[in-house]
Amino acid sequence: MDKKELRRLVRAKKQQFSAADLRTMSEKVISDLLAMPVMKESRTVLMYYSLNDEVNTHDAIDRLVADGKTVLLPVVIGDNAMELRRYTGPGDLRVGSYGIKEPVGPLYSDYGEIDVAIVPGMSFDRNGNRLGRGKGYYDRFLPLLPQAEKIGICFPFQLFPTVPTDENDIRMDSVLA
């Protein structure tokens, strides 16, 4: 199966679940994520503010901030790049590119301080391979964070034995589903 076919399959699978089903699946993934030692020990975390069809990160983001961690969220700039901004609370958000809520907080550029990057995807495999939505934002950005632990999170039905990759795809250090 090529990337386009796999994205189509995952989109169809997502439609088979209710919002309540996705919320329940999200809770387990997020619980497992927050229990990871690397998350507990981290000081600065790159997250993403989830869309309705992704593992819901909203409460986890607020919990990390409440725990005193620096939480960074991506902001899409242009057709092929993103920058990071600090998130301090829901009042920081505005609807940005692709209907994603993005922070308007201070620009963050000290990438060497980022301990963990939580990365969404259309699908993953157990080897850490990731298939994104096809725009390449994370694959271009993640090489700027060589020290960060890269953790892909997804629903269980998004985990496959293998995911098609090419030389531009960035592998995750671990995947939670």
Buried b (16+ CB within 10 A) or exposed e, 85-115: bbbeeeebbeebeeebbbbebeebeebeebb
Question: Can you give the three-state secondary structure of 90-145, one letter per residue?
Answer: HHHEEECHHHCEEECCCEECCHHHCCEEEECCCEEECCCCEECCCCCHHHHHHHHC
Average pLDDT for 105-125: 96
pLDDT in tens, 28-72: 999 999 999 999 999 999 999 999 999 999 999 999 999 999 999
pTM for the model: 0.95
> Does the pLDDT of residue 113 top 90, yes or no?
yes
pLDDT of residue 79: 79
pLDDT of residue 80: 83
pLDDT band at 97 (very low <50, low <70, confident <90, very high): confident
pLDDT of residue 169: 92
pLDDT in tens, 64-92: 999 999 999 999 998 788 999 999 999 98
- 161 close to 131: Cβ distance less than 8 angstroms: no
Average pLDDT for 156-167: 95
